Chains A and B, each alone.
Chain A
């Protein structure tokens, strides 16, 4: 099976083509969100350079979020268009899953953090269990102060990855002792990591519905926020 994957959940715009166990090509730009301008161009470029056309693609994978609202919509709209036009299935995979997968087989826990602005991060906690990526928490949008105790209670070495690192590195180092950070060469979303996770699902016959599939944005509803403001309590407590 040959799939085209696209990740536009963060500053980076990335696309790749994977054929079974083989990555045929990948283009990634990690420079000023400009997905609407470059995404179609890099897809076109990639296909041309591996001597394929869109009709050679058997399925699509797209980042589901959380992440940049605008980026997620551009990715989702692009892949839905390609999927409908070619009549091939697509599946959406969380950008956090794909970031964690960049650090495959890391010991301890893996914590991707994406800058969600206003001092918050999009995050979830992962580990590799029997060589499989396993998510240990929900997808969350929380402040770093809320995240740190969640990490500490796991009581395991932790590796952080994601565009939230530059912003929070010092604070993380000060609060957690056994901590590592992804090297620069791995520290961005890669369509190939996303694609590999998506390919597994497509092979199992799992795919998204063209009309109902939507990005995950994650935000508390206004009612929840008002309740919390009024009572000073988290609604889930």
Chain B
């Protein structure tokens, strides 16, 4: 499904709706160029998970952990050269745990992503205006059918 947004609050709002529906062990892959609003989307998900902490991008520390309605692992694998590096930190133990995992730049570690996951892609729409974004949410696996219930 696709959403057209023209400000960051709308990005956060969609994230929040997704966040409020997430279950234990869900995996969300988040892709989009620098500055498209991936971190804002994650902030929204965190709100939906009832996390009060301030969310920052884990670009330099690879993963941040938060406590909420469910535990959240927020990965950013932008700096990773080789999927083996991420595997070696014990990636599987994170993503196959009871926590929700969000993985920014998951396309860099495709071989490690489980078949069943939610994929969120954010794209700039410069022809419409500087703040316009297209947010595409796809899901793989029946456990994620609830995604269809998200509306703006």
Contact = CB atoms under 8 A, between A and B. Distances in A.
Given A222-B82, A222-B83, A222-B84, A118 B90 contact: no
B98 to A, nearest CB: 9
Contacts of A117: 92-93, 96
Contacts of B84: 219, 221-222
A225 B82 CA distance: 13
B152 interface: no
A219 B92 CA distance: 12
B92 A118 contact: yes
A175 interface: no
Interface in A11-48: 33
Interface in B73-104: 82-84, 87-90, 92-93, 96
A221 B85 CA distance: 11
Q: Chain A contact residues (Cβ within 8 angstroms of B): what range? A: 10 to 19
A143 interface: no
A68 interface: yes
Interface in A179-218: 217
A227 interface: no
Contact of B93 (A69, A219, A221): A69
A70 interface: yes
B82 to A, nearest CB: 7
Contacts, number: 23
A118 B88 CA distance: 15
Consensus secondary structure, chain B interface = helix
Contacts of B114: 118
A217 B93 CA distance: 13
Contacts of B96: 117-118
Contacts of A70: 90, 93
A168 to B, nearest CB: 15
Contacts of B88: 69, 217
Nearest to B98: A32
Contacts of B111: 225
B89 A69 contact: yes
B116 to A, nearest CB: 12
B34 to A, nearest CB: 26
A69 B82 contact: no
A225 B92 CA distance: 17
A139 B93 CA distance: 20
B4 to A, nearest CB: 37
Interface in A91-136: 117-118
A219 B90 contact: no
Nearest to B82: A222
A68 B82 contact: no
A68 B83 contact: no
Contacts of B83: 222
A221 B88 CA distance: 11
B25 to A, nearest CB: 12
A163 to B, nearest CB: 13
A221 to B, nearest CB: 8
Interface in B49-94: 82-84, 87-90, 92-93
Given A33-B93, A69-B88, A69-B93, 10 more contacts: A68-B90, A68-B93, A70-B90, A70-B93, A117-B93, A117-B96, A118-B92, A217-B88, A219-B87, A222-B83
Interface of B: 82-84, 87-90, 92-93, 96, 111, 114
13 contacts: A33-B93, A68-B90, A69-B88, A69-B89, A69-B90, A117-B92, A117-B93, A117-B96, A118-B96, A118-B114, A217-B88, A221-B84, A222-B83
